[in-house]
Amino acid sequence: MGICTRPVEIVENAASTMRTHRVTANLTDSELARLEEMRPPGCSTSAYLARLVREASPPSPATHAEALQLLAESARMGRVQAVIALERALRPTAGERDLDGELRRILADED
């Protein structure tokens, strides 16, 4: 089996994310055939490879708000561990409790 060298361009039209880097991949005949089999009709090789790279990338970590939303959804579905984790996440910290007490004290002094 010979090695088939086929430049793989990762330069798309302006409507998509600007791709300014070019990658050359050395594939065997069978690897190239498999890539062509897997590539959806109407999708360029470069667009398909870029999609594979995006999908292989780890997802970005959830923000605090997203994590609370996921916990809330799980808690609503009756998952006890989610209920406990949500309660702990929403429980005020010691610093927040001190601020609440300080605010109450200030407001009480004004009366």
Are 102 and 68 in a shared domain?
A: yes
* Lookup result for tokens 């690897």: 31
Are 50 and 69 in a shared domain?
A: no
Burial (CB count within 10 angstroms: exposed 0-12, middle 13-18, buried 19+), residue 79: middle
Where in the sequence is the domain holding 11, given as residue range(s)?
3-56
Would you say the pTM of this structure is higher than 0.75?
no
Question: Average pLDDT over the chain, rounded to whole?
Answer: 79
Nearest CA among 6, 81, 70 for reference residue 44: 6
pLDDT of residue 106: 82
Which of 39, 56, 73 is the endpoint of a domain? Answer: 56
Are 105 and 71 in a shared domain?
A: yes
User: What is the 8-class DSSP label of residue 97?
Assistant: H
Are 75 and 105 in a shared domain?
A: yes
pLDDT band at residue 17, thresholds of 50, 70 and 90? low
- Percent of the chain whose predicted confidence (pLDDT) is above 70: 79
pLDDT of residue 95: 67
Are 12 and 31 in a shared domain?
A: yes
pLDDT band at residue 81, thresholds of 50, 70 and 90? very high
